[in-house]
Amino acid sequence: ELPSDAEEQLRSGEQQLELSGRRLRRLPSAVCALSRLQKLYVSGTGLRELPEEIEELRELRILALDFNKLERLPDGLCRLPRLTRLYLGGNRLLALPADFAQLQSLRCLWIEGNFLRRFPRPLLRLVALQSLQMGDNRLRALPAELPRMTGLRGLWLYGNRFEEFPPALLRMGRLHILDLDRNRLGGFPDLHPLRALRVFSYDHNPVTGPPRVADTVFLVGEGAVERMAERDEPTPRPLPRRPARAFEEEEEEDLLIGGGSSRALGPAGGSLPALEAAPGLGT
């Protein structure tokens, strides 16, 4: 059954259901009967599985499933035609279903804090995806086909196991934000080919200084303060680590800089609006 306050939530007319923080091993089957539902938040509930019937939520735009115990995703989740924002961080995922590529409306995917050892190849077919959060996984390499993701503007890869700068990134000329904090990188190539880059974070890597970048790039890492001082620009701020939730109808660029109506999940530690200080973003 639905929680006792669900009817009151839905009566507001926003077609939004908040179940976060409750103890749920399974998603109540009655939720999947809410065919007009647009926003569903089921964060931090202990959820272990999702029913295939979730595909009946054909109007769903936002789905938050982060900080649960999911080990796999049902194919039914891949058949949500209007889904634009999906939060899967802090689960136990080893891979994504092959049908995940059907989520062609997806613009924002947060899948940090899982057990991904390889870049999920279905993502390569999501050419409209703009924001991809893959921090705190177990990635060692990126596929050569990564530049197929022509819509990507923000890519978070902190806390993985990269020992060399992935060559495919040098062909991601439309990236605005790139975060490689807390890896095992000993150096960087010349990053001038990343012509659209505005923020590059490389802190907590065994490097001796900042990479070569255009003067328009906002740096965060070893030697960045000195480099920014030479340019007479503000001291860099840390990049965000937590997802911004409940985006409303902001411009697509707000997927990267947060927007005014976001809600932060998890403990304090930065939020997407901090990126508004970076030069060039939001233009």
Give every residue of the chain whose pLDDT is below 50, as ranges. 246-255, 257-283
pLDDT at site 243: 58
pLDDT at site 49: 94
The per-residue pLDDT for range 202-235, each reduced to its tens digit, is: 999 999 889 999 999 999 988 777 776 777 666 5
Residue 257 maps to a domain: no
CA 278/CA 42 separation, integer angstroms: 32
Using the 3D structure, point to which of 215, 233, 251 is the last residue of a domain: 233
Using the 3D structure, point to which of 61, 88, 119 is the last residue of a domain: 119
Task: Report phi then psi at 48, rounded to 5.
Answer: -110, -20
Spell out a b/e string for 187-208, using b for 16 or more CB atoms within 10 Å of the CB, else e: ebeebeebeebbbbbbbbbebe
pLDDT at site 233: 61
The per-residue pLDDT for range 18-49, each reduced to its tens digit, is: 999 988 888 988 899 999 999 999 999 999 99
Domain that holds residue 211: 139-233
The per-residue pLDDT for range 135-144, each reduced to its tens digit, is: 999 999 999 9
Residue 14 maps to a domain: yes
Same domain for 77 and 28, yes or no, is yes
Residue 127 maps to a domain: no
Enter the pTM of the model: 0.83
Same domain for 79 and 14, yes or no, is yes
Same domain for 115 and 143, yes or no, is no
Same domain for 229 and 178, yes or no, is yes
Number of domains in the chain: 2
CATH of the domain at 182: 3.80.10.10
